[in-house]
Structure 1
């Protein structure tokens, strides 16, 4: 996707096929797959768009409809929601927890995966009802946190599984 952006990449811009504010850039591009047009929404500082979607043809049925304030604000809202959902999904993949009733009381067992490129690992921890850290060990990034694995860890005096 080639762009003809002015020298200041943070300057607001409002052109028929290119809009930008302090956070987002919307660019209408030719859809490589067919005769239509697409719009790409890119967050400032990112190299890849957060959202690419179809864009409406203009009245001449050949050129794209120009961007306007209402369309830009709708695109910003949609792209922001896509990023928010992606962050939620990533958080859910990297952080798991469960509650476990033990003889010593209820424990909150947490597994926090550290996605290091060279040496990924996870921290398995237990917190008591007052949210005080009871135990913490480093485990493999692929450790499966289940009620059974948590109970086995607690029953084994919090030794590394």
Structure 2
């Protein structure tokens, strides 16, 4: 059988993951924030905080998982996969020179995005406590300073 056109599981997964990273962000030239900063310069501190948060957040595993679920559905949780029976067959290619064996992508399950649910929950809680809540708290305070709302609203 000729498998020369097939990609390894690792290569196939990396191609998919790189395509997932092509997303518009607040840091691109055409984003509306630059226009808003030009029209309402008093909002610059708040907009800068949003952009700084995006820069920090955009490459995190939490963002990657969120984006995957938003666009493609549910991922595969390693804890559940361990309970499933082994697959019936796979295609493996051995490099005759090095003896290295590579599994080829031969089933849709090879391409599923997989991670530990337990680990992801802990990471999400830490992200909320250490990054998201402080960011939102600071952003709200910055906006309040800019808008100077009436004490009757507070």
Higher relative contact order (CA 8 A, sep 6+): 2
Normalized per residue, the structure richer in helix is: 2
Flag whether TM exceeds 0.5 (same fold): no
Give TM class, smaller chain: under 0.3
TM-score by length of 1: 0.24
